Amino acid sequence: MIAAPAPGSLLWFARHEIALNWRDWAALMTGGKRMRTYVALLVFASIAVVAHLIAASLLMPHIQTGIIADKATLAGLTGAGILFFTVMLSQAMESVTRAYYARADLDLILSSPASSRRLFAIRTLSIAGSTMMLSCLLAGPAINILAYYDSPAWLLAYGVMAVLAAIATAIAVGMTIALFRIAGPKRTRFIAQILAAIVGAGFLIGIQLVAILAFGQYARFSLFQSEAVLAAAPAADSLFWLPTRAAMGNGFAFGVLALAGFGLLALVIASSSASFGRYAVAAAGVPETRYKAQTKAKLFRRTSQKQVLRHKEWKLLARDPWLLSQTLMQILYLLPPALMLWLNYGQDAGMFIVVVPVLVMASGQLAGGLAWLAISGEDAHDLVVTAPVSPRAILTAKIQAVLGVIALVLAPLLLLMALSSPRAALVTGIGALLSAGSATLIQLWFRAQAKRAMFRRRQVSSRVATLSEAFASIMWAGTAAIAVTGAWLLAIIPAVIALIVMGIAKALSPKATD
Amino acid sequence: MQDSTPALEITGLSKSFDRPAVNGLNLSVRRGEFYGLLGPNGAGKTTILRMVAGLLQPDSGQINILGIDAARDPVAAKRVVAWVSDEPMVYDRLTPLEYLEFIAGLWQVEASEAARRAEDLLGWLGLAPHAHERCGGFSKGMLQKVALAGALVHEPQLIILDEPLTGLDAGSARQVKDVLKARVASGVTVIMTTHILEVAERMAERIGVIAHGRLIAEGTLEELRVKAGRGDTSLEDIFLDLVAADADAEKVA
């Protein structure tokens, strides 16, 4: 029989964390229902099969011609590796910030005689573990296909993922502590969240921007295969390619990388765990901070009930920088299409095929987040419901508030587009309205009262809502992309699919199944 | 002449979740009365009040608020009611003044009148120095006072309070009680649930005791003493006797 670890020890904390994380994850996946466990397993298995098929179709041509570690291959793989690393770093930054700010059991543990250093060490390792898991899930199909059809040495890529996760976690901890020292506990969370979002989206958007500027097209990875990049890249035997060589199965390269990566994480944990309790306590004091209102606007003006509700939504959003950053960060993805519009102004009608669906889809995604905040994330739900306003008027006002923000974001881009092609602007406008309207309706059908602070968990609270929101946005984007080419009849197909998706979502919504 | 229509008239009200929460309740509260609603945990008090406030749909029964059928004309009923729960319904990122402006807008109170009332209420409740601070950093007691100010800014005729004194310090509790007393003196009806029986004993003109979703006793403190068959005794003793007797009767049934 295995003896239980001593209370307060590293192993004891580890067991506690693993049990909590597992139950949290299982509850989110299954909603606590046994049937859903089987359904979730079936869905995972199906996704895994499809992902492996896609990976095989993409990689088989390369495998058949033989993969050699030349400069072009190393550059391509390194590009993909950097992309994964930025996603890992972004996730690790988010998780580390949460470790300091999310109260949950922190108050209980910090007020106990148990060592906060041990708790921090375990939580940091847990962050590295979950960061690695995400990347392994994403890269797993490609690694498996390469290992099966090319060489089992590719399996070492999983080890590289673990090392990259350790490095990303170490950097995230270092950055968070630096922010605590420089910006203080009041601003650290906000700055860290913004940085995490920029890091997560920055590389992808950055290479898109460079590809647009260099080649006038969206293709991301062609950049790494371009003559200019290959000419500027170090020689194939350079140390620069060490991580990529490790992923390709070079044992020595992996050893060096693992030593450096895991060593860095150990060093960061050892040097920062002592300050964890102090900074976590400082972060706990942030909600107690009182903010003086800066507004000089005249209060108690005569307005309609709908106006009052709309203004309240906009005011709350504008005053919550964290929520604003989480919601509007999707605007970052509009930068590449905006740049394309700018560069191709009046010249290339073909670029609308790329730009229009991006704008339509971004509108849907943005509307989904805002609609959740307005409809489900009502912090004073009882107050609004007991007001002498009809439920219909409340919903109308809230939907208007959401669409108002979308219109504000989209208007400059539509205007720019209209100067070049009024028809493309009209198609985009209608597509964006349909996409945003669909996302808002889905949020309405799946509304479940929650605190605004739960915004990040909205996507896991209902998978049907999240998936149908995404599918509907994609279908409306497809409709707009086809419509802008003038193939109106063909555009009906994705439009009908979008409507079917909406119908299924409505049928599966809690109200319909009650 | 004062209108004789009750402030609240509940007839045959029922609501079930997985079990009956409110069971054919009949209740009448007079205008200008301070009515205390007592009952053990899970007796159905909050469910009753949430149905009156329009936050829950009854399975059956009728609710009339100042003569308005709440099912037939919910907006008209809501216009004269204020609901204050034990969990303050306040936005962290609004200041108390902005919060009152929001509520005045929802209840369509004339702008200059709303501004005057807001200033008065914040003064009475000791919130004037914090009028321009966001509620996010406020203590539970301060938030509860902001919520109460919000409930009063549209001058409701019926104020429903569910455990309004939970978490308040002695000073804040006194301020809230004084404001409520003043409102009752001006003809407003107050219905309040509380577990602090001393408060009900001192403030309520009539007390209703709820158990298993039914009204098991009602009256002034004196009438309840008679019903419980105890002379000069506290409300706490009477309450415990009544609830215990009801529990015994339930067991037998």
pLDDT at B1 over 60: no
What CA–CA distance (Å, rounded) separates A84 from A316?
A: 34
C-alpha torsion angle, residues A411, A416, A418, A420 (rounded to 10): -170
What CA–CA distance (Å, rounded) separates A410 from A131?
A: 34
> Could you give the percent of chain A with pLDDT greater than 70?
84
Confidence of residue A215 (pLDDT cuts 50, 70, 90): low
> Could you give the percent of chain B with pLDDT greater than 90?
51
Considering chain A, what is the average pLDDT of its residues?
83
Shortest CA distance from A320: residue in chain B? B93
Highest mean pLDDT among A18-27, A125-134, A363-372, B57-66: B57-66
C-alpha torsion angle, residues A356, A362, A365, A369 (rounded to 10): -140
| B237 neighbors B230 (Cβ within 8 angstroms) | yes
Among B108, B55, B137, B6, CA closest to A303? B108
- Phi and psi at A449, nearest 5°, equal -55, 130
Shortest CA distance from A296: residue in chain B? B132
Confidence of residue A25 (pLDDT cuts 50, 70, 90): confident
Three-state SS for B13? strand
Judge residue A406's burial from the number of C-beta atoms within 10 Å of its C-beta, 0-12 exposed, 13-18 middle, 19 or more buried.
buried
Highest mean pLDDT among A180-184, A505-509, B118-122: B118-122
Confidence of residue A486 (pLDDT cuts 50, 70, 90): confident
Three-state SS for B33? coil
Exposure on the CB side of residue A159, measured as CA atoms within 13 A: 23
pLDDT of amino acid A349: 57
What CA–CA distance (Å, rounded) separates A87 from A205?
A: 12
Confidence of residue B118 (pLDDT cuts 50, 70, 90): very high
Is the CB of A381 less than 8 angstroms away from the CB of B89? yes
Q: For strand B206-211 and strand B214-219, is the pairing parallel, antiparallel, or unpaired? A: antiparallel
Distance in Å, alpha carbon of B216 to nearest chain A alpha carbon: 28
Confidence of residue A378 (pLDDT cuts 50, 70, 90): confident
| A211 neighbors A220 (Cβ within 8 angstroms) | yes
Distance in Å, alpha carbon of B17 to nearest chain A alpha carbon: 13
Residues of A in contact with B110 (CB under 8 A): 302
Is the CB of B132 less than 8 angstroms away from the CB of A292? yes
pLDDT at A514 over 60: no
pLDDT tens, residue by residue, A262-273: 999 999 999 988
pLDDT at B180 over 60: yes
Is the CB of B91 less than 8 angstroms away from the CB of A312? yes
